[in-house]
A and B are shown apart, each in its own frame.
Chain A
């Protein structure tokens, strides 16, 4: 569904992403893990079109469509072709209500009744959001904001859902809950690209995993393989 070949990203003089290649199959959970500053967010943001890439290609195959190189596609067209991102730090719009945040997530759609039923679907996934639907985004707790970010990303009915650090800053109990929900969303047919610092939790649910270290991918494999690989810990804690 998504294939990245030899991706390179520079920020000024910093070579943030070095020759990264990866592949995501339809229906999988794929995770991209690595220590802070390894370049995970840069990769995911370049797929969304929020970061300019310096070389390489990003090839996306929409459901029932042909492969397209989306490297230069405007962001809104990427959303329309079925890619959505729940960004790092949640980025909830603080002065908009929960419901407005969700509606904004459905901006590219025009089917009013479909949108309403999807909002209901999000509320069944996250009942807490329903209680707070008229509250402003800024009044939510961290966990609720994370749920809202997830829900908002679902609102465009994406085929490929990308989650950037969904567990960041959450209490352990909530972390488990979030990962449970990710698994559930996946079981309903969405392909998921998960960027995580919380490697163990991510590896447990991932079909395939890539480990980024200072901008390049040196280790990859199935989630199970990597769970038992001592090199992972070295990547995080030095060795």
Chain B
């Protein structure tokens, strides 16, 4: 099995690296030892920022602030009382802080927790903002943290900083902490919770529709990332032995950002490679700032040159190789070995239910998108919702699936009132949907896309995935979900793509994968938004059979928006027609085709009277 092989290879390389670290103090000089410590610390910081930004997609510029919290908490906990008493010269230290003293490891953990706690406090209000605003707000918080540290002299010794911190950080500590963080990160990212994080980054709307509580997931990821920042900051303080507020300016965040951008946003391997590269390069580049002697010439060092080269590199990387070294890929031993594939088979379920849309009206400001929509759907039917451009079909979908709140009217699903529930709640109630313009989680594999759908059914909590060796049930549940997802892919003829990135799939397969993902939530009711869009006549012909098969095999009720009338007329049992928000007609396909109002809505006024008699349908 290639899994065993990979595990052995991993264990061997970890042992080799540990042996190297064990011998390192004898082989390497102080300069290189420091670099190796810094690599581990930077890798911790990079992994944590990558978790926040690269993997969950929250643009945070606040890392330095959380590092500062960690560094100060740890330093205050391990400085000996006598040293503290001597160091606070401007104002005396708080007495209760004076005698506080803990072992280094405890101080590290408390440092991480403190940073995580403040991280959570920041996250809860700020994560409501998106994109750039989030970046600026977190940048603001980092500055506020720094300014508070500067001013709380009795606690932090103000701008003088803390000196003579015991240099506890050695290769064992730094790489040990790194190993723990790496292990937890990798386990988490490989669990279904990891899929959820990436899903939130790739497409928030779609993730919501898969039943994910986006806000909660984001707060968790942000808090975990801040834990890493605090830990890294603490280790760094103990390596350098001196900290002051100036150390944690925005520049510090930029350095970490640089590492994850060069390594590849979203790639753990990339963060590690980036840490090696950037840390070594930053140290090595110091030569440009020192005088160089070539023969009898002496070139004076140029202060600032190091960062000039460094920033140019960042610009060049972002312009010419935006995805960094690894992109979102990860290292795997498999690249050294030829590929092989996996397989398995079948479950089926049973349901029964109804959707009732009662006098639903939807307004945006003064604009009426839907005017009094009223219909019922019985179990096992395929219902079409059609109408010309701008008729309000997608709005109707968005109301039913919880994306918009109806202005008036009620929606009952399986007898339960759902109008006004949020998309993730509607999803949990047993409804799922696809989107007009495919919204897959592009960077995740087909299999992962489908497993995201199983999140709503998952029983274990997210934090168990950090320590799967203790909570082995997580692994069992995850693999169960994976098997179910694999079965789904197989039923929909997608198993060959299971491990391909969703965005790399052929168009038709992407459409089917979106349906598979929706089925992953085990819905009783499926909404399909223009499944035939962009398909050629052959593909849309296949689609018709496929939709019917879906209904039968998965015991679904399907509501379908479609412009391709061949598809609609062929698969639907019953059709509702909207025009400019008004429910103008309903009936069987043949009734609809002969309906005057419908013909006029589609072909323009007068069309039905002049020519409809001789027209052949």
Q: Do chains A and B touch in the complex (CB under 8 A)?
A: yes
Q: List A residues at the B interface (Cβ < 8 Å).
A: 11-16, 18, 35-37, 165, 167-169, 172, 175, 197-202, 214-215, 227-228, 230, 232-234, 236-239
Q: B617: CB under 8 A from chain A?
A: yes
User: By the criterion CB–CB under 8 Å, are A227 and B611 in contact?
Assistant: yes
Name B508's closest neighbour in chain A (CB-CB): A13
Q: How far is the CA of A42 from the CA of B417 in the complex (A)?
A: 42
Set of chain A residues within 8 Å of B506, measured between Cβ atoms: 13
Residue pairs across A and B with Cβ atoms less than 8 A apart, 25 shown, are A12-B507, A13-B534, A14-B507, A35-B602, A36-B563, A37-B534, A165-B389, A167-B604, A168-B390, A169-B580, A175-B604, A200-B604, A200-B607, A202-B604, A214-B537, A214-B564, A227-B611, A230-B611, A233-B607, A236-B565, A236-B602, A237-B569, A237-B602, A238-B570, A239-B566
Q: A15-B534, A36-B389, A238-B569 are in contact. List 5 more A-B contacts (CB 8 A).
A: A13-B506, A198-B603, A233-B599, A233-B615, A239-B617
User: By the criterion CB–CB under 8 Å, are B593 and A237 in contact?
Assistant: yes
Q: How far is the CA of A214 from the CA of B580 in the complex (A)?
A: 24
B222 to chain A, nearest CB (A): 32
User: By the criterion CB–CB under 8 Å, are B565 and A238 in contact?
Assistant: yes
Set of chain B residues within 8 Å of A165, measured between Cβ atoms: 389
Set of chain B residues within 8 Å of A11, measured between Cβ atoms: 534
Q: B510: CB under 8 A from chain A?
A: yes
With A35-B565, A37-B563, A201-B604 already in contact, the answer to whether A15 and B390 are too (CB < 8 A) is no
What are the nearest 4 A-B pairs in CB distance?
Answer: A238-B565, A13-B507, A14-B534, A198-B604
Name A239's closest neighbour in chain B (CB-CB): B617
Summed over the interface, the residue pairs from A and B with CB atoms below 8 Å come to a total of: 96
Set of chain A residues within 8 Å of B293, measured between Cβ atoms: none
Set of chain B residues within 8 Å of A18, measured between Cβ atoms: 536
B90 to chain A, nearest CB (A): 54
Set of chain B residues within 8 Å of A36, measured between Cβ atoms: 388-389, 563
Q: B3: CB under 8 A from chain A?
A: no
User: By the criterion CB–CB under 8 Å, are B536 and A15 in contact?
Assistant: yes
Q: How far is the CA of A153 from the CA of B449 in the complex (A)?
A: 45
Set of chain B residues within 8 Å of A238, measured between Cβ atoms: 564-570, 593
Q: How far is the CA of A150 from the CA of B580 in the complex (A)?
A: 22
Q: B616: CB under 8 A from chain A?
A: yes
Name A202's closest neighbour in chain B (CB-CB): B604
Q: How far is the CA of A201 from the CA of B604 in the complex (A)?
A: 6
With A13-B506, A228-B611, A238-B569 already in contact, the answer to whether A201 and B602 are too (CB < 8 A) is no
1/0 per residue, CB under 8 A from A, across B557-591: the answer is 00000011111111000000000100000000000
User: By the criterion CB–CB under 8 Å, are B604 and A199 in contact?
Assistant: yes
A209 to chain B, nearest CB (A): 13
Set of chain A residues within 8 Å of B605, measured between Cβ atoms: 172, 175, 200-201
Interface centre among A11, A16, A172, A200 (most CB of B within 10 A): A200
Interface centre among B506, B565, B569 (most CB of A within 10 A): B565
Q: B26: CB under 8 A from chain A?
A: no
Set of chain A residues within 8 Å of B614, measured between Cβ atoms: 230
Name A173's closest neighbour in chain B (CB-CB): B605
User: By the criterion CB–CB under 8 Å, are B388 and A214 in contact?
Assistant: no
Q: B288: CB under 8 A from chain A?
A: no
User: By the criterion CB–CB under 8 Å, are A237 and B389 in contact?
Assistant: no
B177 to chain A, nearest CB (A): 43
Set of chain A residues within 8 Å of B535, measured between Cβ atoms: 214
Interface centre among B569, B603, B605 (most CB of A within 10 A): B603
Q: How far is the CA of A48 from the CA of B611 in the complex (A)?
A: 35
Q: B285: CB under 8 A from chain A?
A: no
B375 to chain A, nearest CB (A): 21
Set of chain A residues within 8 Å of B390, measured between Cβ atoms: 168-169
Q: How far is the CA of A233 from the CA of B569 in the complex (A)?
A: 14
Name B607's closest neighbour in chain A (CB-CB): A200
Set of chain B residues within 8 Å of A236, measured between Cβ atoms: 565, 602-603
User: By the criterion CB–CB under 8 Å, are A200 and B534 in contact?
Assistant: no
B611 to chain A, nearest CB (A): 6
User: By the criterion CB–CB under 8 Å, are B507 and A237 in contact?
Assistant: no
Interface centre among A202, A232, A239 (most CB of B within 10 A): A239
B562 to chain A, nearest CB (A): 9
Name A228's closest neighbour in chain B (CB-CB): B611
Task: Tell me the residues in window 390-420 of chain B with beta carbons closer than 8 Å to chain A beta carbons.
Answer: 390
B613 to chain A, nearest CB (A): 10
Q: B33: CB under 8 A from chain A?
A: no
A172 to chain B, nearest CB (A): 5
B570 to chain A, nearest CB (A): 8
Q: B301: CB under 8 A from chain A?
A: no
Q: B137: CB under 8 A from chain A?
A: no
User: By the criterion CB–CB under 8 Å, are B616 and A239 in contact?
Assistant: yes
With A37-B563, A234-B617 already in contact, the answer to whether A214 and B603 are too (CB < 8 A) is no
Q: B85: CB under 8 A from chain A?
A: no
Q: B529: CB under 8 A from chain A?
A: no
Name A165's closest neighbour in chain B (CB-CB): B389
Q: How far is the CA of A15 from the CA of B533 in the complex (A)?
A: 11
Q: B131: CB under 8 A from chain A?
A: no
User: By the criterion CB–CB under 8 Å, are B534 and A197 in contact?
Assistant: no
User: By the criterion CB–CB under 8 Å, are A37 and B530 in contact?
Assistant: yes
Q: How far is the CA of A16 from the CA of B602 in the complex (A)?
A: 21
User: By the criterion CB–CB under 8 Å, are B603 and A199 in contact?
Assistant: yes
Q: How far is the CA of A238 from the CA of B612 in the complex (A)?
A: 14
Set of chain A residues within 8 Å of B176, measured between Cβ atoms: none
Given B536, B568, B593, B610, which contacts A214 in the complex, CB threshold below 8 Å? B536
User: By the criterion CB–CB under 8 Å, are A230 and B563 in contact?
Assistant: no
Q: B606: CB under 8 A from chain A?
A: yes
Name B535's closest neighbour in chain A (CB-CB): A214
Q: How far is the CA of A199 from the CA of B569 in the complex (A)?
A: 20
Q: How far is the CA of A197 from the CA of B540 in the complex (A)?
A: 21
Q: How far is the CA of A198 from the CA of B616 in the complex (A)?
A: 19
User: By the criterion CB–CB under 8 Å, are B389 and A168 in contact?
Assistant: yes
Set of chain A residues within 8 Å of B388, measured between Cβ atoms: 36, 197
Given A197, A215, A232, A237, which contacts B617 in the complex, CB threshold below 8 Å? A237
Name B598's closest neighbour in chain A (CB-CB): A237
Set of chain A residues within 8 Å of B507, measured between Cβ atoms: 12-14
A215 to chain B, nearest CB (A): 8
B534 to chain A, nearest CB (A): 4
Set of chain A residues within 8 Å of B534, measured between Cβ atoms: 11, 13-16, 37
Q: How far is the CA of A228 from the CA of B614 in the complex (A)?
A: 9
1/0 per residue, CB under 8 A from A, across B99-133: the answer is 00000000000000000000000000000000000
User: By the criterion CB–CB under 8 Å, are B536 and A233 in contact?
Assistant: no
Set of chain B residues within 8 Å of A12, measured between Cβ atoms: 507
Q: How far is the CA of A169 from the CA of B367 in the complex (A)?
A: 12
Given A15, A215, A230, A237, which contacts B565 in the complex, CB threshold below 8 Å? A237
Q: How far is the CA of A15 from the CA of B537 in the complex (A)?
A: 12
Set of chain A residues within 8 Å of B510, measured between Cβ atoms: 13
Set of chain B residues within 8 Å of A14, measured between Cβ atoms: 507, 534
Interface centre among A13, A232, A236 (most CB of B within 10 A): A13
Name B386's closest neighbour in chain A (CB-CB): A237
A177 to chain B, nearest CB (A): 13
Name A88's closest neighbour in chain B (CB-CB): B389
Set of chain B residues within 8 Å of A198, measured between Cβ atoms: 603-604
A238 to chain B, nearest CB (A): 3
Q: How far is the CA of A230 from the CA of B610 in the complex (A)?
A: 12
User: By the criterion CB–CB under 8 Å, are B617 and A200 in contact?
Assistant: no
A236 to chain B, nearest CB (A): 5
Set of chain B residues within 8 Å of A35, measured between Cβ atoms: 563-565, 602
Set of chain A residues within 8 Å of B610, measured between Cβ atoms: 200, 227
Q: How far is the CA of A165 from the CA of B604 in the complex (A)?
A: 12
